[in-house]
């Protein structure tokens, strides 16, 4: 070939190498970019690399199918949902699962079987957060917040697991070992029951409205163990919606259960927000106390079992049965992403 042809070949080869290097760099960026740096709202960005050697050659590579979008701006506020009782009415399923575990182990106290009634479980749900703490409280009377109400059905005695050939636990260490076994079995029962559960009215529409709102982070903070929690969110929230959330915390992820504020403090820290910028949706006194102890605003969606509780006296910013009236994110946050001074005006239950 003549010198000019050799030069064109050399230039074309050089540009091909540059093209391959650009493609490799783009692939590396896709692999290294943290998922949450990608905007959940912007979708996939379009990137075009043009390498234009002499003589009219144009190498255009469209990376629409996978290039990372620019990082999302940090959120200005957050909407945090409890799970059980808020996303789905699961409290009765929990009660049934506990009683299934008690029956499986043949739990007896003074010759009588251990069974939690609806009324007593409602008391427990509004007194102690988390499954193991509930059982510990029932069997010992320990673990409730100072000044909490008491109930005549609280056993304050360790049970004998008669179906497992076991004796009454000799001390708290042995008792808590039994509680661990009961909780494991109860979780498996609950996972089977919860697959048929459906969302509470309007709650997923509110969640979607918040996900689509610029500057609003959205998360779930549940006191449930991850095994049971994952079944709920898979069945009710769905993987596609779950992947768009900014923070998800289960009871296993924190050392102190509600009403301690740790779970909500951790959520705010992970989002880089102050507590004043967060709104929590809860359904129980225990959850409300956790939110208020974290200095967050709190909306209560009560259930038939908890509607008699005086949520406003405990500091709730708003309470209502559910979101079936079509509540959207604009009833909680301003267009600029700030928490409104008054939550759910015209929708919430009136204060006494």
> Known catalytic residue: 82?
yes
Q: What is the model's pLDDT at position 148?
A: 87
Residue 230: its H or E element:
helix 226-232
Whether the pLDDT of residue 90 is over 60: the answer is yes
Q: What is the model's pLDDT at position 66?
A: 59
Judged by average pLDDT, the poorest of 15-29, 104-118, 190-204, 278-292 is 15-29
Average pLDDT over residues 152-174: 95
Closest CA to 228 of 88, 78, 81, 119: 88
Task: Please list, residue by residue across 37-71, b when 16 or more beta carbons sit within 10 angstroms of its beta carbon and e when fewer do.
Answer: ebbbeeeeeebebebebeeeeeeeeebeeebbbee
Judged by average pLDDT, the poorest of 44-58, 86-100, 262-276 is 44-58
pTM value is 0.69
Average pLDDT over residues 67-84: 84
Q: What is the model's pLDDT at position 73?
A: 80
Q: What is the model's pLDDT at position 6?
A: 46
Q: What is the model's pLDDT at position 126?
A: 84
Whether the pLDDT of residue 89 is over 90: the answer is no
In the structure encoding, which two tokens stand for residue 127, read together?
């007194």
Whether the pLDDT of residue 29 is over 70: the answer is no
Q: What is the model's pLDDT at position 69?
A: 60
- Average pLDDT of the chain is 84
> Known catalytic residue: 317?
no
Chain center to CA of 132: 19
pLDDT tier for residue 282 given thresholds of 50, 70 and 90: very high
Contact present, 39 and 9 (Cβ < 8 Å):
no
Q: What is the pLDDT of residues 313-352, one digit of tens each?
A: 999 999 999 999 999 999 999 999 999 999 999 999 999 8
CA distances from 195 to 85, 188, 241, 338 (A): 15, 12, 17, 36
3-state secondary structure of 44: coil
β-pair partners for 217: 78
Q: What is the model's pLDDT at position 31?
A: 35
Q: What is the pLDDT of residues 234-280, one digit of tens each?
A: 889 999 999 999 999 998 899 999 999 999 999 999 999 999 999 99
Residue 79: its H or E element:
strand 77-81
CA distance 212 to 41: 7
Whether the pLDDT of residue 147 is over 70: the answer is yes
pLDDT tier for residue 181 given thresholds of 50, 70 and 90: very high
Phi (first) and psi of residue 162, to 5 degrees: -65, -30
pLDDT tier for residue 39 given thresholds of 50, 70 and 90: very low
Catalytic residue among 84, 246, 277, 283: 84
Catalytic residue among 27, 55, 82, 322: 82
Q: What is the model's pLDDT at position 17?
A: 52
Q: What is the model's pLDDT at position 277?
A: 98
Strands 59-62 and 77-81: unpaired
Whether the pLDDT of residue 8 is over 50: the answer is no
Q: What is the model's pLDDT at position 52?
A: 41
pLDDT tier for residue 133 given thresholds of 50, 70 and 90: very high
Q: What is the model's pLDDT at position 56?
A: 41
Average pLDDT over residues 6-33: 45
Contact present, 139 and 108 (Cβ < 8 Å):
no
Whether the pLDDT of residue 97 is over 90: the answer is yes
pLDDT tier for residue 34 given thresholds of 50, 70 and 90: very low
């Amino acid at each position: 070939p003549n010198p000019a042809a050799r030069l064109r070949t050399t230039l074309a080869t050089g540009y091909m190498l540059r093209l391959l290097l650009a493609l490799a760099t783009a692939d590396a960026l896709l692999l290294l970019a943290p998922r949450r740096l990608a905007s959940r709202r912007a979708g996939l960005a379009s990137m075009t690399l043009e390498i234009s050697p002499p003589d009219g050659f144009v190498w255009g590579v469209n990376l629409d199918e996978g290039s990372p979008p620019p990082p999302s701006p940090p959120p200005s506020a957050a909407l945090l949902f409890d799970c059980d009782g808020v996303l789905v009415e699961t409290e009765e399923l929990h009660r049934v699962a506990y009683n299934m575990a008690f029956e499986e182990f043949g739990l007896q106290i003074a010759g009588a079987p251990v069974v939690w009634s609806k009324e007593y479980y409602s008391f427990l749900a509004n007194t102690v957060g988390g499954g193991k703490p509930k059982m510990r409280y029932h069997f010992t009377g320990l673990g409730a917040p100072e000044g909490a109400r008491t109930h005549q059905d609280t056993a304050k005695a360790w049970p004998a697991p008669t179906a497992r050939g076991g004796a009454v636990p000799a001390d708290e260490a042995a008792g808590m070992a039994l509680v661990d076994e009961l909780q494991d079995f109860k979780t498996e029962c609950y996972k089977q029951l919860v697959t048929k559960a459906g969302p509470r009215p309007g709650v997923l529409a509110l969640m979607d409205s918040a996900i689509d709102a610029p500057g609003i982070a959205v998360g779930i903070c549940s006191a449930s163990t991850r095994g049971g929690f994952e079944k709920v969110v898979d069945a009710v929230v769905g993987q596609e919606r779950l992947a768009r959330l900014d923070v998800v915390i289960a009871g296993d992820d924190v050392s102190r259960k509600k009403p301690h504020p740790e779970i909500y403090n951790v959520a705010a820290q992970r989002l880089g927000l102050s507590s004043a910028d967060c709104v929590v949706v809860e359904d129980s006194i225990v959850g409300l106390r956790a939110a208020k102890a974290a200095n967050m605003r709190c909306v209560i969606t009560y259930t038939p079992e908890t509607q008699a509780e005086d949520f406003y006296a405990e500091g709730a910013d708003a309470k209502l049965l559910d979101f079936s009236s079509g509540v959207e994110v604009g009833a909680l946050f301003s267009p600029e992403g700030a928490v409104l001074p008054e939550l759910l005006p015209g929708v919430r239950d009136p204060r006494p």
